Amino acid sequence: MGACPHAWQHHLPHRGRMWAASPAFRRQLFLLRSLAPTCVDGGRVSSSSLRLHAMSAAPAAAGPVYEADAEAVVRRITPPLDRARHKGQAGKIAIIGGCREYTGAPYFAAISALKVGADLSHVFCTKDAATVIKSYSPELIVHPILEESYSVRDDERESVSSSILTEVIKWMERFDCIVVGPGLGRDSFLMDCVSNIMRHARQANIPTVVDGDGLFLITNNIGLVEDNSLAILTPNVYEYKRLVQKVLNCEVNEENASEQLTALCEKIGGVTIMRKGKADLISDGKKVTQVSTFGSPRRCGGQGDILSGSVAVFSSWAWHFLSSNEQPKENSVNPMVLGCIAGSLLLRKAAALAFEKNKRSTVTTDIIEFLGQSLEDICPAGR
């Protein structure tokens, strides 16, 4: 590297030098540097800082389950705040969802991403949903570009689908993670358009969280996430049941829950799955981790949307953090798993605080308001 910090650029081919000089590259480089750990061993992330504790109570026949040291994960991957940063460097998240019937879910996911600490949050939704979602908050950047079958003639479908993909592609390289599914609905034309968006995100190596109706989409088209190590699925009990039936061709087996989850991840290939429940079980096919911190007995709708937005932010932070700290392959940690661990813990802590204050009247917006305090309690901004 020599005395000139940018001398390495001169050894790149012409196209490489153009990319190295681009704003997108500079943003990524700054983000990688700003996420550098405060304490590393020989330039590598200490494995103890991201440790998982084995649970001796797990049944041997079901395979081992590891209880994550979730607070340590949150502290390690959350980037420090400093005055040299500018807008966008703490994360840019996009939600793909929202139709005329469902406008709350994409809002919950998008605003949760901001409350966790992302700088920018976008929503790509149908025209019918856009005005409603914009009215919820001026903080969100809303793109009314998706279409449903009722608004598109049969002879227009191909051109409209192509136009939608072209518009999304204009923005795609800016995003650190996308969330597919909140409030998406199940319109066939809309599903086809979102499938194209997912394929492009995969080609562009954009981490993708799939939740809600996005899980309905991929259950019927596993190829959209197959062998994608940057994909995260967050099914609830019913969505998980459909995935197991479709992929493993059997019923959910609670006695061998960890073994079955591992098999499901392996069968799909490379994906990370968070099976939501009393304890969230998380696996990428290599091991099963759980977060069992108690949240709230109040099960109001919308908590899954908070989770998907939170996981998107933490996964992007973890991905950039680990990219800036090369580790030996045998000690590598999956950043998507870390994102799930952190998102799970934060939601549970926020839900507990909201319930403590509001009891039976707790709703999703109450929980969202406690995301910031929950993160501050674990990882103070002034650390």
Binding site, by residue number, is 183, 236-242, 276-280, 295-305
- Per the annotation, binding residues for (6S)-NADPHX are 183, 236-242, 305
Q: Determine how many CB atoms are found less than 10 A away from the CB of residue 38.
A: 9
Measured distance CA(357)–CA(376) in Å, rounded: 18
Angle formed by the axes of helices 70-77 and 335-358, to 10°? Answer: 110
Q: What is the 3-state secondary structure (H, E, C) of 37-104?
A: CCCCECCECCHHHHCEEECCCCCHHHCCEEEECHHHHHHHHCCCCCCCCCCCCCCEEEEECCCCCCCH
Under 8 Å between Cβ of 81 and 340: no
Task: Give the span between the Cα atoms of 192 and 196, in whole angstroms.
Answer: 7
- Structure token digits, residue 104: 């709350």
Compute the distance between CA of residue 108 and CA of residue 139 in angstroms, rounded to an integer: 12
Binding-site annotation, residues for ATP: 276-280, 295-304
Between CA 226 and CA 228 the distance in angstroms is 5
